[in-house]
C-alpha cells in the first residue's frame, strides 16, 4: 500500500509492506523486496514493514545487538523515517497486534493503524476461516509452551476437538 501526496505530483510519502513468505526466500522474492525498499529510500519516503510470518528471520535492518535488546517477540513491525529513524514494534505471540504510528508527509501528524482491528476485519470478511488448515501442527518453530497455547486457542475457537 502506498500513501501519496497528490499536491506534490503524487509524491510517495509512505509505503506499507506486508511481508509474504516469498519475501524471505532467496531469489526473485527477496530481490523484489530489497529493490522496493531501495526505491522507497531513494524517494525519501517512509517505509512500514509488517512481518506477521513468525519465523524469527527479521527483514528489518537491525544490528544483532539492537535485535537482542527487543523484548521476546514472534512478529515485528518496523517504521522507518528518513534519514535514519526507525521504530520497532516487537510483538509476542500471546499479545494482540499493536496500534502502529504511520508517518505522513512533512509536519502532518502520524495516523494510527490498529493492526489487530485490521487483521480481525480481514479474517472475518475474507475466506481465511474456511481455507486455513488447522489439522496439523502450528507453522514455524515454536517452543512447547507456545504450541500448547496455540492448541488451547484452536480448541476454544472450535478448530480442534
Query: What is the reported pLDDT for 101?
Result: 95
The distance between the two most distant Cα atoms of the chain, rounded to a whole number of Å, is: 56
> What residue ranges do the domains of the chain occupy?
2-110
Residues 16-26: pLDDT tens digits?
998 888 777 77
Does residue 149 have a pLDDT over 80? yes
- 90-130 residue pLDDT tens: 999 999 999 999 999 888 999 999 999 999 999 889 887 77
What CA–CA distances, in Å, run from 69 to 57, 65, 73, 149? 16, 6, 11, 25
The pLDDT of residue 159 is 81
Q: Could you read off the pLDDT of 36-89 as tens digits, one per residue? A: 888 998 899 999 999 988 777 777 777 788 888 989 888 999 999 988 888 999
Exposed, middle or buried: residue 42 (CB in 10 Å: 0-12, 13-18, 19+)? exposed
Report the predicted TM-score, pTM, of the whole model to 2 decimal places.
0.85
What does the radius of gyration of the chain's CA atoms come to, in whole angstroms?
A: 17
Say whether pLDDT at 35 is over 80. yes
8 A C-beta contact, residue 16 and residue 118: no
* Residue 154 confidence class, pLDDT cut points 50, 70, 90: confident
What is the pLDDT at residue 121?
Answer: 94
Amino acid at each position: 500500500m502506498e500513501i501519496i501526496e497528490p499536491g506534490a505530483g503524487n509524491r510517495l510519502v509512505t509505503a506499507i509492506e506486508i511481508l509474504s513468505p516469498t519475501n524471505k526466500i532467496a531469489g526473485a522474492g527477496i530481490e523484489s523486496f530489497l529493490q522496493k525498499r531501495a526505491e522507497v529510500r531513494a524517494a525519501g519516503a517512509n517505509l512500514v514493514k509488517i512481518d506477521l510470518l513468525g519465523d524469527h528471520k527479521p527483514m528489518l535492518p537491525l544490528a544483532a545487538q539492537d535485535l537482542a535488546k527487543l523484548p521476546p517477540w514472534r512478529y515485528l513491525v518496523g517504521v522507518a523515517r528518513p534519514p535514519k529513524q526507525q521504530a520497532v514494534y516487537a510483538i509476542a505471540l500471546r499479545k494482540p497486534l499493536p496500534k502502529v504510528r504511520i508517518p505522513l508527509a512533512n509536519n502532518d501528524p502520524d495516523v494510527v493503524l490498529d493492526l489487530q482491528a485490521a487483521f480481525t476485519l480481514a479474517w472475518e470478511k475474507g475466506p481465511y476461516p474456511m481455507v486455513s488448515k488447522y489439522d496439523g501442527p502450528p507453522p514455524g518453530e515454536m517452543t512447547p509452551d507456545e504450541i500448547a497455547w496455540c492448541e488451547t486457542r484452536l480448541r476454544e475457537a472450535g478448530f480442534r476437538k
